[in-house]
Each structure stands twice: as structure tokens, then as C-alpha cells.
Structure 1
């Protein structure tokens, strides 16, 4: 294992490399192991380098623990807009999430329906490419974001294009209060219809989830007077679907971290699709359990071990990713030929020697 203590040291290591690397932040989010290589750990690149609460911006080195970032923001009444999940319980991992790992996975929780994904809050990155060159894109404050948007390209690349060394975010104030509405007894299809009605309303819903057998949940956040008004008005909108009651705010941590599947045997898949298509896909999957998030746009499924979910459900608009499980079925959804060609071109440009996580998202 190698653990560089600075960006310059990392760049030199990459320039002098004679074989591939397995990139690791906190080791908490990898859903499939790359081909063999030297473990290159980014935890030595740690620390918040710039935090301007008044400008709602933060810059941190990639190996900075997520808890350190969130604690600094909480002290100023601020937060990351995208509610990063903690999947250690789902994946049976220890370790500690790093902010660079969050970006590499584009890890985003229930607030994505209102605040966007991780990549939408990311305003700048620094990374070392496969030639050992340090590349900077975006800015350290929002007004300085210029040039080709490598920022969004790196988010969700799972360390296959370069090693992140620094990331910059725009932030949001923490809400004063939160309210959760709950409707019991809805079918999956009616639950998606209710969530769509809530998200299409003017009441600024920041979470929309359905847990079969537990209920359908909608979240409102903001200043107390505003939240109470919107809560009443949204309840009127949803009344046609059933009785609307107050829900437990703790449900959002469960949805964010996929907690209902913790400790249960089986493979876990994540489907991203059109909300209207989700109930039919769940029915075709024959899952042991399901969790609908993002108004039905993301569905977590607990499946029998070794299930090829893509083959079982057939073609659909979206993609299915195996988050937990072993076997020959690829974890990442196969790319259409035009997209695969673009991906290969990007890899050839940023990692011409195939050093970074070979075999992680496609065959090495």
C-alpha cells in the first residue's frame, strides 16, 4: 500500500508507476473490487483548506473524513445539499467515508429530488491524471467556475479517470425545522402517484419515499412558519390518496442508508428509472423487499443471491447497478455502444496506461 502525504508526492508516484493502482479513500463505498494492483490510499491528503460560511463554499482535500466536513458545517448551521449516504451497514464495511470517496461515487441521498446530486453541488476539483499531471477544473468559489466541465465528469467516475486531491462545494443553510407526512396502505403504483403529486406541487418537497408495509413519506424543510403552512397545504393535495398523518423524521436516515436491508441475506440492487415505470419493474423483479426513493426514480431491491436482475426484468429506460453481491453478473449496467466509445476515449485521454482501478467499471 502507498499513502501519499501531498499532491506533489502523489503525482510523482503516478509518473513513476510500473503497474496499476487500486484507489481507496475510506474503503466504505466500493461495490465491486478492481483488478489487482497496488492500493493507493488518499487518506494522507486530508484537511479543510478553505471554508467561507458567508460565501456558502467549502474546499477540502479528498482524503478528509466526511464526518469532519459535516461537523465543521454543522457548527455554522450549514450542510452539504445532497445528503450523502452511509452504506457501511449495507455493505458490511468498517472504515470511514472520505469526501473524495463521496464525490467519486456521486453519492447522493433523499434530498437529491430537491437539491440535486453530489455533482450538482460540486464547483471545483483538483486531480492527478494517469500521466502524473495535476489538473484543476472549476473554482474555489462559485463565481470562478469556468472552462470545460471536468467537475461533473469526475463525479461518479469511481476513480477510473484520475485520483482526486481536492474538491470544492457550494453549501446550503441547515433548515430550521423539518416535517414529515405519512400515508399508510398505498400500493406501489398509488404511492408513486402520490409522490409525483407532492413533487409537482409548489410546496418544495425535499424527500419522497415509499417503503412497502411501512408507508409513503414526504418531507418538508425550512423556516417554521413556511413549513407549517406548506405542511397543511400539501396534506390537502394528498388527501385524495388516503389519510395524511405526521411521520417520524427518522425514516429519512433509514432511506438514505438503506437501513431496512442491513443484516438481511441477499444481493442488493439499485434501479434508476422513470418513477412511473418503477412499480412494474419491481413486480417483474420479484424482489424480497423494495425501497422507493426520489419519488420512485431510485429503487433499492433485495434479491436472491446470484440473481441477474437485468435479465429478469428485461429492457427498460434506466439502469440497474448491483450494490451488494458476488458472481459473474457485472455490477455496473452495460453501456450502449456510443456511450462505451465515449468512455473508452475519455479513459485513453486521462489514464492512457490503464493505471486507475482497472476492471472496476468494465473489463480490464
Structure 2
């Protein structure tokens, strides 16, 4: 295991590599590409924090718990509320900001504030040739040049190894409240969520859970945040418009969204877990089509239906490729988050289509001409009996 303590050592390790390298942050996502391991935990610590300017610069190996503590002392947060994968995937380790940035990990509040990449002001990273690259800036006024930040976010370390990340942060609101309505069907619930998003009441969370804690029942959840008086007013208006069995406030509300953020209802349970991006208007129909096709499942619908988490019994009638084809038919995109890749015969990430795949391969060839960084992790060009028949682009 190679554990560089600074950016120069990271660059040297990559330049001197004679074969594939497996890039590891906190090792919480269950991704272990073949190759010599490079662990980025040594690249930790705060480089710059200006609470008044709402900016934070940290080493890529900085644990998320440390960042939450530092920001919390100033009543601030990362607004995109990144997921902690450990319970869902049964992994240990420590989530790091580099892993969050590399995977563009974004939680329920994405529908209001954007994804992780939208909060990244700048990055420093090392390419597959050992070249150190700086892109973007350390403050919101100084983001210039080619936007490699957006390219690196979601590349899973295949273009370069992050050494530093600059982020914009947000003040923690004074209050929050969640409207819960139980027993509603998915189609009606998602219609309500989309209706809530079209109101002027600044919804920061809109989700549906088909089975609460693995038990019979469902919940529709709508969250509002802000000043206490404003939250009370908006929650009341939404309750009048859409109905609610309960209005849950404060820490209890926060706990509901942390559970949903981490997909906790599927943790510790048998079955494959798929992450599906689709149009909210098509989400309920997609779920129904899977059931009618012989694939029962439980579903968590976040982003008012734009993001679906599916818990699929591995003994279902549909194979993994057929699930992907059904998702593509609905105009969606499916990633296998938890499951046996060898048994399913599909790639973890779905092809975006021939043109996009060639563009992605060209980027990798430019940034990593030796093909040593997380080699094969995002290879979506496999063919054969288990290969994906559907080629679509991720709409979100």
C-alpha cells in the first residue's frame, strides 16, 4: 500500500508506477479495482477556511466527520448532504471529501441546491502521468479557465487523483420541518411531490419510501428549511395543499432525511441495490413495469422521483440486463450499487451510448495515457451474453 503524505509524493508515486493503481480514499464504496493501492488519507487537513466568504479548502483525504465538525462550529454545512455508503454496502473505513468529489455524491437536497460538483470551486489533482494540475479557484470570485472541476466530479479517479478540493459552504438554517403522509401509492405520492416542487414554498426535500424499515407501509416526505416563522408558514401551506398525517420538526426531521440519504431502509437486507436516474414523471410507471415484468422490488424515490433506489431480490424473474433494458425504455439510467457483478454479467456503470463512451475514453487517454488509474472501473464497452443492451445517457 502506498500512502503519500503530500501532493509531491503522490505525483512521484504515480510517475514511478509500473502497472495499474487502485485509488482509495476511505474505502467505503466497495470499489476495489485491480492494481497497487494508493491510499489518499495522508492528504488531509484544512488548507483554508473563511466562514465569512463561505469557502473551505481541504486535502482530499480529509474525513467527512472532520469537515462536519469544523463547519458545525461556525453553524455551517455542505448543503448537498453527501451520502454515507457504509451501512448500505456493509463496508468500514472513513468517508473522505476526495471520495465524495470523485463520485459526485449528492443527497436529497440536490433538487434544491445542486449536486456536489456544483459546490466545488476548484481542485488540485495528479494525472496518470504524474503531472500536478490546478483548476478553478479557492474563492467564489476566482473560478476561471476550463472547468475541469465538472470533469473530475463523477470520474471515480479514472482521470486523476484528487489532492485538494475547494468548496462553497452554506449556513445551517434555523429550523426545518418534514410533512409525512402515510399509506399513499407511488403514483399519487410522486404526483404530490412534483406538485410541491412547483409551489413557491422552497422545498428542500421530496421523497417517497415504499416500505418503512422493511415493514408494510409507505411514506411521502416533503421538507422545508429556513427561519422558524417561514418554515411554519410554508409547512402549513403545503399541508393545506397536499395533506399530512404528521409534521416532524428539528432533529427528528433531520434524522428522517439522514436515513433516506444513506438508503438505510435497504441496509443489512438481502438483494441487489440499483441506483436509477429517470424523469420524475416516468418513475412510477417504471416501477410498475418492473413488477409486471416479474421483478418485485422495494423503492425509495428521491428528488421527487428523479432518483430511484431499488432493492431487488436476486431470485427475481428478470436478469440484470433486462432490468437495465426496462430502465432505458423509460428513459433512465441504472447503476448497480450493490450486487454480484460476475453473476449478473453487467458492468457496474451503464454505457452512455457509443458517442459518449468514445468521448469518455478519449478523456481518459488524455489524462491517463498509460491507463493505470482505477483501470477498468468505468469500462462500459464489454460485449457478450451479459452485456448491456441499452445505451442511454444519464439525465441527471
Q: When the two structures are superposed, what TM-score results if normalisation uses the length of structure 1?
A: 0.96
The answer (yes or no) to whether the contact 1:238–1:244 under 8 Å persists in 2 is no
Equivalent in the alignment of 1:300: 309
Q: CA deviation at 1:363?
A: 5.9
Q: CA deviation at 1:314?
A: 5.1
**In the TM superposition, what whole-angstrom CA distance separates every residue of 1:297-342 from its partner, at most 9, and x where no partner exists?**
0010011227412135452322100000013211101121110111
Indicate the SS of the match to 2:100.
Answer: helix
The answer (yes or no) to whether the contact 2:349–2:380 under 8 Å persists in 1 is no
Structure 2: distance between partners of 1:220 and 1:273? 24
Equivalent in the alignment of 1:231: 235
Indicate the SS of the match to 1:360.
Answer: coil
Equivalent in the alignment of 1:156: 154
Structure 1: distance between partners of 2:63 and 2:247? 34
- Counterparts of 1:20-39 in structure 2, within 5 Å, are 20-30=20-30, 32-34=31-33, 36-39=34-37
Equivalent in the alignment of 1:339: 356
Q: CA deviation at 1:46?
A: 0.6
What's the C-alpha RMSD, in Å, of the aligned pairs?
1.4
Q: CA deviation at 1:185?
A: 2.2
Q: CA deviation at 1:16?
A: 1.4
Give yes or no for the alignment of 1:11 onto 2:17: no
Q: CA deviation at 1:223?
A: 0.7
Structure 2: distance between partners of 1:259 and 1:209? 14
Of residues 121-130 and 281-290 in structure 1, the stretch that sits farther from structure 2 once superposed is: 281-290
Q: When the two structures are superposed, what TM-score results if normalisation uses the length of structure 2?
A: 0.88
Structure 1: distance between partners of 2:226 and 2:328? 41
Structure 1 stretches of 4+ with a deviation exceeding 3 A read: 311-314
Unaligned runs of 5+ in 2: 211-216, 382-396
The answer (yes or no) to whether the contact 1:23–1:159 under 8 Å persists in 2 is yes
Equivalent in the alignment of 1:258: 263
Structure 1: distance between partners of 2:107 and 2:328? 27
The answer (yes or no) to whether the contact 1:203–1:230 under 8 Å persists in 2 is yes
Q: CA deviation at 1:244?
A: 4.7
Equivalent in the alignment of 1:289: 298
Indicate the SS of the match to 1:283.
Answer: helix
Structure 2: distance between partners of 1:275 and 1:107? 20
Structure 2: distance between partners of 1:288 and 1:143? 47
How many residues are paired up? 359
Equivalent in the alignment of 1:65: 63
Equivalent in the alignment of 1:326: 340
The answer (yes or no) to whether the contact 2:206–2:302 under 8 Å persists in 1 is yes
| C-alpha distance 291-115 of structure 1, shift in aligned 2 (>3 A) | same
Q: CA deviation at 1:17?
A: 1.3
